[in-house]
Amino acid sequence: MSGEEYRSREGFLRRFAVDVRRPGFDMTAAEATVPGEAAVLVGCAFGFPVRRDGTWWRGFLGALPQRVEQLTASGHVFAITEVVVHPHERDRGLARHLQERLLADHQASLGATLVDQTDHVVYDAFRSWGWQDIGGIRRLPGPVLLRALVLRLGEWTPSKPDGLAHNPETERPREADGLDPGMR
């Protein structure tokens, strides 16, 4: 394993250890079977619901789009924080399928992700899947500028401007945001 691969693995494991502790964390994985051999993990995607308090968007440069702010406050945004796919599976659309499955499982109205602006391969992949760049975010520590990307989900019409009908079955419970009920 090269030094670069090791650093990438080390960074992945560090990010995974943080994200797995977040409320609502979820992961979807794909495996492939080779005849006569055991199944092998070929990809995964994971993330968590964005907290209603908007901390996900901390460091956003400029004004956060109003619809994004509203969907965040209503608990209908799910953050995809990692998509990892074996190189042999990349051309088969597995990465896109994994992130779509994870978002669908959470019935989100909006997907959100942050991409290092210098990682053109990842940025271009998300853009090709329909994700929109809504601006930059600066996170500390470091001078790294991240691009905030969002993906609209569901049908957005004048009667359903956020992609969901407003009824008790589509509202996220307030307890899911991790805030003490007395703090609201």
User: Domain residue spans in the chain?
Assistant: 3-183
CATH class of 3-183: alpha beta
62-102 per-position pLDDT tens digit: 899 999 999 999 999 999 998 888 876 666 788 888 988 89
pLDDT > 70: what percent of the chain?
A: 76
Strands 145-152 and 110-116: antiparallel
CB 129 within 8 A of CB 115: no
Give me the chain's average pLDDT, please. 78
What's the pTM value of the predicted model, to 2 decimals?
0.74
Give yes or no for residue 53 having a pLDDT over 70. Answer: yes
CA-based end-to-end distance of the chain = 49
CB 41 within 8 A of CB 76: no
28-43 per-position pLDDT tens digit: 888 888 777 788 888 8
Task: Place 23 in a pLDDT band, splitting at 50, 70 and 90.
Answer: confident
Measured between alpha carbons, how far is 118 from 170 in angstroms, rounded to an integer? 37
Measured between alpha carbons, how far is 42 from 30 in angstroms, rounded to an integer? 6
Strand partners for 115? 147
